[in-house]
Each structure stands twice: as structure tokens, then as C-alpha cells.
Amino acid sequence: MPVTEGARVPTANGARYVAQLCKHWSHKLEVAQNGDSARIVLLNDAVVTLVAQPETLDVGIEAASPEDLELAKDVVVRHLDRFAFREAPLAYGWRDGEA
């Protein structure tokens, strides 16, 4: 059974981060971007969804196991914080079942 987790990350720069992550990951991963939202399939087959809102970046992750979920969260956090270096570390506040 898939496990899911989500976070509402406070930032006014969500749209910029979605675009940067999609461009960065499109070279190696399956990326589908639609405006300010995206769906990315990581190498462990975890699915990341990103939706930029005016004051937040909503992040959802669905993975096959708790271990894959933790790995995916780590990948997302490291990359987002790298692109958001001016406001990093971002506050994620992960919540179960919120993908």
C-alpha cells in the first residue's frame, strides 16, 4: 500500500522553485510541469507533486514504502533548500496522508 505525506511550505517564491526543480530534474527524471504545478517521478518511483500558491509551496509525496518516502522527502528537502538558499532552511511541517 502506498504511503503519502505532504507539506505546506511557507514561501512567496513557490512558482520559481517549481520551475527550477523541473528544469533541474528534467534531465534525469520523468517531469510533467503545468504552469505553477508539477509531477515528478523520482528514481525510487516515488511521485512528488508540487503546487505553488501565492504564499506557499504545497508538496506531496507518494511512495511504495516508508523507507522510500523518507528517501524522497530527503531528496526534495535538499534540492528545495538549495534553490531557496536565501530563505533556507524552509519550514516543511510534513503531514501524513496529505499528498
Other residues' Cβ atoms within 10 Å of the Cβ of residue 85:
8
* Signed CA dihedral, 93, 11, 19, 28: sign only: negative
Per-residue pLDDT reduced to its tens digit, 19-78: 999 999 999 999 999 999 999 999 999 999 999 999 999 999 999 999 999 999 999 999
Pairing of strands 3-10, 30-34: unpaired
Q: Find the helix or strand (DSSP H, E) in which 82 lies.
A: helix 66-83
- pTM of the predicted protein model: 0.91
In the chain, where the domains are located:
3-87
CATH number of 3-87: 3.30.310.50
Number of H helices, E strands in the chain: 2, 6
* pLDDT for the residue 3: 83
* Cα 73 to the center of its chain, rounded Å: 8
